[in-house]
Amino acid sequence: MKTTISLTINGKPRTVAVEPRLSLADLLREELRLTATHLGCEQGVCGACTVLIDGEPARACIALAITLDGAEVRTLEGLADDPLMSTIKAAFQEKHGLQCGFCTPGMLISSWDLLKRKGALSEAEIRVAMSGNLCRCTGYQGIVRSIKAAADQRPAAAPEAAR
Ligand code: FES
Ligand code: FES
């Protein structure tokens, strides 16, 4: 039996009827056609499906949509015009932060959250902070270089207060 929930996705109010076991990732990808959120392991391990739920990074594959009544969800599509995200994307392009690109949406969201929260970052701090995002191409050198470059070039407004 479906339950109707109302939530905000990328700033737009949405009302949807969901089955009890529908994941947020499947709601985004299959029903709302927001396919920037990738699915890898589908068990909360790889981070490919990372989105922001009420401003915090979360695994969309293990978040049940039915629990998100009233929540605010932001996906990579919802950060398309964000200056910090633009800086991060450019750095990933310039520093070879992606190979197949499968892990990239999760990497971008997690690094955006990291750069929002933290000031100067060493390579070691980036590695620790990003350890919840796996790259099956093992392109970690380029990913860390990209995030470091973005951290060094980020817009003046970031970072925000640390959580
Ligand atoms: S697909 Fe969600 S953590 Fe891997
Ligand atoms: S670039 Fe292929 S999984 Fe990371």
Q: Can you give the pLDDT at residue 154? A: 82
Of 78, 93, 122, which residue is a domain's last? 78
Same domain (yes/no): 64, 93: no
129: domain CATH number is 1.10.150.120
Q: Give residues with Cβ within 8 angstroms of 45, minimum separation 6.
A: 134
Asked if residue 143 has its Cβ within 6 Å of ligand 1, the reply is: no
- Site to probe by mutation for ligand 2, drawn from 38, 50, 98 as the one with most ligand atoms within 8 Å of Cβ, is 98
**pTM of the predicted structure, to 2 decimals:** 0.95
Of 78, 105, 131, which residue is a domain's last? 78
- Name the closest ligand to CA 45: 1
Phi, then psi, of 53 in degrees rounded to 5? -115, 120
Same domain (yes/no): 115, 58: no
For 97, the 3-state DSSP assignment is coil
* Number of domains within the chain: 2
**What tens digit of pLDDT does each residue of 110-155 get?**
999 999 999 889 999 999 999 999 999 999 999 999 999 999 998 7
User: Is residue 69 within 8 Å of residue 20, measured between CB atoms?
Assistant: no
Same domain (yes/no): 96, 148: yes
Asked if residue 100 has its Cβ within 6 Å of ligand 2, the reply is: yes
DSSP code of 68? G
First to last CA, the chain: 38
- Site to probe by mutation for ligand 2, drawn from 92, 93, 96, 135 as the one with most ligand atoms within 8 Å of Cβ, is 135
Asked if residue 40 has its Cβ within 6 Å of ligand 2, the reply is: no
For residue 112, the tally of other CB atoms under 10 A from its CB is 26
Structural domain that includes position 23: 3-78
Same domain (yes/no): 90, 65: no
Asked if residue 46 has its Cβ within 6 Å of ligand 1, the reply is: yes
In a domain? residue 163: no
**Which pair of structure tokens corresponds to residue 21?**
């076991």
Q: pLDDT under 50 in the chain at which residues?
A: none
Of 46, 78, 110, which residue is a domain's last? 78
42: domain CATH number is 3.10.20.30
Q: Give residues with Cβ within 8 angstroms of 49, minimum separation 6.
A: 25, 37, 38, 39, 40, 42, 59, 60, 61, 106
